[in-house]
Structure 1
Amino acid sequence: MHRGSSEDLHVLRKKILEGDIIRTVLWLAWPIIVANLVNMSYNLIDAYWLGKLGKEAFGAPTVSWPLIMLFYSIGFGFSRAGISLIAQYVGAGNLRMANKSAGNLLSFMALIALSISITGYFLSPPILSLMGVPPDIYPNAVEYIRIIFIGIPLSFIGFAFNTIANSLGDTRTPTYINIVSSFTNMVLDPLFIFGYLGFPAMGVKGAAIATILSRSIVSFVGSYLLFTGYHGIKITFSDLGIEKWWIKKVVSIGTPLTIQQSSNSLGFTIMMSIVSRFGSVAVSAYGVAIRIIDVLSAFTWGINRALSVMVGQNLGAEYYDRSKAIVKKTMWLTTLILAIGSVFIFLTRDLTVAFFVPEKDVIMEGSMVLAIFTWSIPFFGLFFLGGAVAGGSGHTKIFAIISIIRLWVLRIGLSYLLALVMGLGTIGIWVAMTISNIVAGLLALLWVFKGNWTKRIID
């Protein structure tokens, strides 16, 4: 495994600050795209095998993950603030402060993860009940979600390593480690779910255990690299304190992101409760559709992470005009990719839904979701491009407001109005999702072109 040196970091920095924009974006993005697909594979593989047990087992992770992400979002918001700081210090050539920021981030993520793990374990069953999870799914969901919460500290250390590596401009090393982790999950899932090769058949519980064990690989290998030397970053125990200057910066940058992400996750939890009112068929169709759309979104998430790194380092170096050019060219690239992907999803929607849950009622409902929702995906991409600019620049407040409007006013408000008040049923939910993406994408685009994010936030 290539650990990298400070000389390697200089080469990465030069490429990000001076290289051809599109080539550099793609060069940074493709390993992140692979890593995102790999990370998604945990849920996709779980979904594939659990679908063989029926829609009740398949629905357990579907109803659980919005709640899991509600707790995750607390850590993720501050993690994205870590990208802003580390990337801008690297862009400014201040490796000492980048190292200190990395150590503080690692400690902070560990502390947050422990508190989330304990809280989530005890609160998740009553919250799932309040969400109105269908009775035939609820027992499996409780079993699944509690195991995931036990393993959160291991997962969060891995997330911290990925953040630090990407901030430095190394998008490859985390991808290699995540591929090994995903392959491990792929092997363990059928063994633990169905009880092959002498293992006990654990069903939904087995899928959760396989996910936690495989994710721990990233945490252990990432920690080893950071403590033994990695691209000029070598964390020592003296770096692990959470210092006042770091907290002040991260709270300033990360609080709007954390509010936005917590609000999003809470909103998606409420969305799940609205969908749950229409039974396990609607839950399964929603789960299949979200997973299919996530696969396409993985490509733009990779590009957006690359965009955050490039914006962060270029702002740190005070290359403001180049930062604007990077955003503009990346916007056209993202829109093109998503437009092509949307057409493909629309044309193959029946086959892709049937791959996960080969039940006629689920296929019909899932196909309807995709037929309505697919055409808003390019706007969905523009919305997340705005998030990438906010995360890289550290100017997060306006995007947080747009994000809250998208979910709470447009998606949840319209879903409730159309599906429940006006009696349109699940069609009302799918239409509301589509409108929320289109409007939020246009608002994010207006903010990006206004350009008031083009100022670095480090001293």
Structure 2
Amino acid sequence: MSTADASRSLIHAPVGKTLWEMTWPVIFGVATLISFNVVDTFFISLLGTDPLAAVSFTFPVTFTVVSLTIGLGIGTSAVIARKYGSVRPQEAHFDAFGALSVSAILVLVLALVGYLLMEPIFSLLQAHERLMPLIREYMTLWYAGCVMLVTPMVGNAVLRASGDTRTPSVIMASGGLANAIFDPIFIFGLGPIPAMGVQGAALASVISWASGLILIFWLLNRKKLVSMKPANELLFITAWIKSAREILKIGLPAAGANILTPLAMAVMTAIIAAYGAPAVAAFGVGTRLESLASIVILALSMSLPPLISQNFGADKIKRVRYAYATALKAVMIIQAVIYVLMALTAHWIAAAFAEEQEVAEIVQLFIYIMPLGYGLQGWIILTNSSFNAIHRPMNALWLSVIRLFVFFVPLSYLGSLLADITGLFIGGVVANLITATLAYFWFSRELRRFGE
């Protein structure tokens, strides 16, 4: 299907069918990628509790860089999809070049700052001194290669904005497969390749990003979705600045909203650190299991915005409203089924990811409580992405602030004071319930401003 045909499909085809056709390839790609990330956690867990705890401490930091990239991808998708919807393809193609270049620059700067401030950052996270050598081994390689992470992710946003969700899924899956293949080789060694431990896990990630970088460049060039020729006869630098401003206007607030998540997780990690390394290790496993359990939510957060943005650009607000409602219903039903499956298999899941009994018990407790709120969390995430899709990035940013720092962290901490780790998990579920209700009514009110 050509880019023009895909755009027409998003604007005119039945909403439910279109959303499903866009989402199922993304579900496959996200499921494959996250499954391999869970495999990554499994291999690291075989090294022992300290390596697992060390890598768990890196999650808030690495996710900060990833969140910036995701936010820029959201800005890219919103700007480009709206231009396809309003039939301005030449501008969309130049915006793709602007997005790729500005994203690489920003991630490079953030990685450099993170590397230079590695010691103070992890000290603030309450990482024990004995874990610092392992953290340094992992993060030095991770920072060195993470610039290669940004181009495939933003490139995938360019493809999704054009209506193509299948190709990005293949790219995600291939990157995850490469990571899963190289993980055991570099972590434990094979033949002439020495065992590198946690550093091997970082090297496997860098190699998988490099393969994605090559693939996305080839695909974007073949599909002719990127152009360095400005529209409307503008000078190159003038057009680039204009494009960068449009993308950053949505991308930076979206990145800010995404970066709030690892900041909140950093606070949560610091709180949990008071319970010892087994609790931190268990929480690290739990956050990765959360990603696996939230595959449909993550897939819809990628497929829903292009559908909304293109219809928003074509002034089809009724289709925007219907797409949003359809996505919310789907995640509630699917997440309820996932919770039942996780609860029934909690014992075996915990045993697979924890060698120590204390770690396994906390993982099992996490599974019984936290997934109860994943459907509600899905409402929040989809509302956030929908706000960005209709070019209301500050609404999305404020929603993230409210969710994480007005409700999630405070209620989780209050719960921990009342009932230790059990109370902490319950507080998180209550926070999702309150924020999901607020998010739904807020987005509905925003759409009423545009009428039908």
* Closer, same or farther: CA 207–184 of 1 in aligned 2, 3 Å: same
- Is residue 106 from structure 1 mapped to residue 100 from structure 2 by the alignment? yes
Which residue of structure 2 lines up, in the alignment, with residue 236 of structure 1? 228
Aligned residues: 446
Which residue of structure 2 lines up, in the alignment, with residue 122 of structure 1? 116
Greater alpha carbon shift after TM alignment, 242-251 vs 282-291: 242-251
TM-score with structure 1 setting the length: 0.92
Contact 2:415 2:427 in 1 (8 A): yes
Within the candidate set 154, 158, 169, 1:164 is matched to 158
- Is residue 45 from structure 1 mapped to residue 42 from structure 2 by the alignment? no
Aligned letter for 1:399? A
How many angstroms does 1:177 deviate by?
A: 2.4
How many angstroms does 1:12 deviate by?
A: 1.0
Aligned letter for 1:303? L
Aligned letter for 2:332? T
How many angstroms does 1:346 deviate by?
A: 1.6
Q: CA RMSD in A?
A: 2.1
Greater alpha carbon shift after TM alignment, 444-453 vs 429-438: 444-453
Deviations for 1:101-139, whole angstroms, at most 9, x for unmatched residues?
Answer: 101001101111211221111212321122112344332
Query: Matched residue of 1:197: which SS?
Result: coil
Query: Matched residue of 1:229: which SS?
Result: helix
- Is residue 83 from structure 1 mapped to residue 80 from structure 2 by the alignment? no
* Closer, same or farther: CA 182–194 of 1 in aligned 2, 3 Å: same
How many angstroms does 1:58 deviate by?
A: 1.6
- What CA distance in whole angstroms lies between the structure 2 residues aligned with 1:292 and 1:61? 15
Contact 1:165 1:171 in 2 (8 A): yes
TM-score with structure 2 setting the length: 0.93
Greater alpha carbon shift after TM alignment, 46-55 vs 352-361: 352-361
Equivalence map 1:395-414=2 (5 Å): 395-414=392-411
Which residue of structure 1 lines up, in the alignment, with residue 376 of structure 2? 379
- Is residue 433 from structure 1 mapped to residue 411 from structure 2 by the alignment? no
Which residue of structure 2 lines up, in the alignment, with residue 146 of structure 1? 140
Aligned letter for 1:236? M
- Is residue 286 from structure 1 mapped to residue 283 from structure 2 by the alignment? yes
Contact 1:87 1:313 in 2 (8 A): yes
Which residue of structure 2 lines up, in the alignment, with residue 318 of structure 1? 315
How many angstroms does 1:75 deviate by?
A: 3.6
Aligned letter for 1:430? F
Aligned letter for 2:442? W
- Is residue 393 from structure 1 mapped to residue 386 from structure 2 by the alignment? no
Unaligned runs of 5+ in 2: none
How many angstroms does 1:37 deviate by?
A: 2.2
How many angstroms does 1:416 deviate by?
A: 3.1
- What CA distance in whole angstroms lies between the structure 2 residues aligned with 1:31 and 1:87? 19
Within the candidate set 259, 262, 278, 1:262 is matched to 259
- What CA distance in whole angstroms lies between the structure 2 residues aligned with 1:327 and 1:423? 37
Contact 1:60 1:141 in 2 (8 A): yes
- What CA distance in whole angstroms lies between the structure 2 residues aligned with 1:113 and 1:253? 16
- What CA distance in whole angstroms lies between the structure 2 residues aligned with 1:346 and 1:440? 24
* Closer, same or farther: CA 91–120 of 1 in aligned 2, 3 Å: same
* Closer, same or farther: CA 354–43 of 1 in aligned 2, 3 Å: same
- What CA distance in whole angstroms lies between the structure 2 residues aligned with 1:174 and 1:217? 14
- What CA distance in whole angstroms lies between the structure 1 residues aligned with 2:298 and 2:97? 25
- What CA distance in whole angstroms lies between the structure 1 residues aligned with 2:53 and 2:179? 19
- Is residue 62 from structure 1 mapped to residue 56 from structure 2 by the alignment? yes
Within the candidate set 345, 358, 362, 2:355 is matched to 358
- Is residue 207 from structure 1 mapped to residue 207 from structure 2 by the alignment? no
Equivalence map 1:129-140=2 (5 Å): 129-140=123-134
- What CA distance in whole angstroms lies between the structure 1 residues aligned with 2:380 and 2:94? 32
Query: Matched residue of 1:318: which SS?
Result: coil
How many angstroms does 1:423 deviate by?
A: 5.9
Aligned letter for 2:93? N
Contact 2:317 2:447 in 1 (8 A): no
Which residue of structure 2 lines up, in the alignment, with residue 448 of structure 1? 443
How many angstroms does 1:258 deviate by?
A: 2.8
Contact 1:229 1:235 in 2 (8 A): no
* Closer, same or farther: CA 10–250 of 1 in aligned 2, 3 Å: closer
- Is residue 344 from structure 1 mapped to residue 341 from structure 2 by the alignment? yes
How many angstroms does 1:47 deviate by?
A: 0.7
* Closer, same or farther: CA 350–36 of 1 in aligned 2, 3 Å: same
Aligned letter for 1:134? H
Deviations for 1:213-234, whole angstroms, at most 9, x for unmatched residues?
Answer: 11211111111222x331x424
Within the candidate set 159, 169, 173, 2:167 is matched to 173
How many angstroms does 1:237 deviate by?
A: 7.3
- What CA distance in whole angstroms lies between the structure 2 residues aligned with 1:124 and 1:38? 31
Unaligned runs of 5+ in 1: 1-6
Deviations for 1:325-380, whole angstroms, at most 9, x for unmatched residues?
Answer: 11112211121111111121122111112111232111111111221212111111
Aligned letter for 1:273? A
Query: Matched residue of 1:425: which SS?
Result: helix
Contact 1:191 1:197 in 2 (8 A): no
Contact 1:26 1:303 in 2 (8 A): no
How many angstroms does 1:13 deviate by?
A: 1.4
Aligned letter for 1:229? R
Aligned letter for 2:152? G
Contact 1:90 1:98 in 2 (8 A): yes
Which residue of structure 1 lines up, in the alignment, with residue 11 of structure 2? 17
Aligned letter for 2:364? S
Aligned letter for 2:414? L
Deviations for 1:163-212, whole angstroms, at most 9, x for unmatched residues?
Answer: 11111111111222232222221221111111112211100000100011
* Closer, same or farther: CA 374–178 of 1 in aligned 2, 3 Å: closer
Aligned letter for 1:81? G
Equivalence map 1:289-300=2 (5 Å): 289-300=286-297
How many angstroms does 1:454 deviate by?
A: 6.7
- Is residue 194 from structure 1 mapped to residue 191 from structure 2 by the alignment? no
Which residue of structure 2 lines up, in the alignment, with residue 222 of structure 1? 216
Deviations for 1:396-422, whole angstroms, at most 9, x for unmatched residues?
Answer: 222321211111122222333332xx3
Which residue of structure 2 lines up, in the alignment, with residue 308 of structure 1? 305
Greater alpha carbon shift after TM alignment, 22-31 vs 249-258: 249-258
